[in-house]
Structure 1
């Protein structure tokens, strides 16, 4: 039971209904236009929204090399180190996914193969910040899964090519890189145009318009998940450091003005001190206009009676990122199941996951952690079953069973497929077969 709320959100999650409908309508119009007019419409929206209309949205090899040459050696080294971490973990995940074949009875084989998607799209956001790490998470993970062709789209920043993002996409293994953003990029990859190949699956975070485009186009292609805005929740005991709590809450609040930042603690003192430190840090934080708005409108500090209640309440929030600041942080692995990702102990922070530690940062938000995990190599694989019966006796017996099961459901055509096998292999007699063979 909640003992005390030291801070509640100023904005209700239901306050933006009109804005949501506006986003839906705008996105539908863009998609319909691109569906009908292809590249012409893509160029029109790029000019309108990004003031960007190059001769070709696709970068040539020479342009990619030029972009990389403009990135500092340290940034290149950091990109490669972060990608090594992502690749190492993704490869371990891929190795854990096994093909299966069993003989469930003599002569009857069932199995599945984990086949990679052939073509995938990666959307790398870049409106407010150049999100290099999104290239690692979407492109590199797809390549480890075995995807043959990955298209990367990222918007221009300040009417120019985002060189560091291009470098990250290239080193991650992108087969084509387009400087194209927003709904027009998502629609172009999902539908295909004269110059942009249609993908079978699209991954990557984005703003409300990008998320809505993915929602509307889902079915024509697969998607990773509908994510956003970024969320953070900290579970803290009485010994947690309030300054660390404050710093880490603001680290995620700066993602956007609608990013929830929540502290659940058993200690009123920790809660009050965290609020004080947040107010103090906002005086000097460069991104305070964004982080401060998020904290004012969506920030929460909740005091509970004990840590068991803290874990139960955290599970109800099902937040994207959950940091555990307790003496025994691994306790959360047993007491929580609803989250995008756990960050255990004060030596671990969400920013590590966002940028460099190796786990994927495309994670479920808005309580989706109750029923799904985040992006990983498995999302790029199709687990596809197969069956083979090589025994006459087994096929005939299955035919008898199939006939009975099918007629119980009034599916006569299904039943006859079974009858035919039991007739062929067990010499069963059926009137319908005798009549049909005349």
Structure 2
């Protein structure tokens, strides 16, 4: 997948200066992530809460992909320089990579992985395939590295290492249209689930005046472009055509969401590629046992976890949807006398897989509620004498206040039901 960190530079011309929505400030306040000068600029450190948020997003997409026939793979964080020379990434992006890693053997030169695509080509190439085996859909949450200039770095939206929800589909030419349309619908489902309901779609083609900037034959490019146009027409999608925005190896369909601040961000992308299968000599056996070249589809609905989380934080002002929230609920006993009852409620909620914790600090209940509000924890369970005596729980909802008093089972099921609701 072409590096999403480099696309759409216009997004960074006007950075967010609103302290109420700046993901850098909110992310630090909510203890999602930090940056450290000792670690290095553009290299985020994910704290426990932020790690849970990332994992929730990964689990969500992994489940969607599994139902759609994808197989998960894992590839190294480094690769031999010759891998990226073969793929063409070295000639196109060499100056943007970190410097090669040299070993004691002169012939060995490694790079921090700038792209996942070459690795996935090698996964495909590891065994022989028949036309009956295709399509093969390999997916990975792969972390890649690019040496962004320090002046271009900006929070999570512009970093030097980022994790792509990358997948590559290897299919026959006859399967290309159907596979491309399936990915379009997968992207739409992901956007709806995340609450991004406003978006535009852009077809990105070559610049006809700079043909030498792209790899591959004219015939292959024309076939790829026609496939995208046909898919867009059959899915009845409104899309503009932008020349000069294609990847160096193929045309693509880009999805730009509009956030609550009215800014457009590119997230999902689908790219058609006839060139890498040629450069890596990939093939499958056809009906008559002849060697045939597969077509490759690159796709990433999120684009990158870092950028997605930054946009989500600013879009929601840190009010992460309940089903994704690192802490879905907190139990607040009014005093130490009710901690045993609180632990009973805690264990019951954990049995429902609700992400809940118990606040046992020696603080007034109003202080605990204020802190929970500041931490944007969706649900607060207040426990005192009345609740314990009647085996009830009192619920508060972040931003709304008191919801009501419920029986233990009804209160927990109310939260549980909502945790399973996506937008």
Structure of greater relative contact order (alpha carbons < 8 Å, 6+ residues apart): 1
TM-score, normalised via structure 2 length: 0.29
Instruction: Give 1 or 2: higher strand fraction.
Output: 2
TM-score, normalised via structure 1 length: 0.28
Instruction: Give 1 or 2: higher helix fraction.
Output: 1
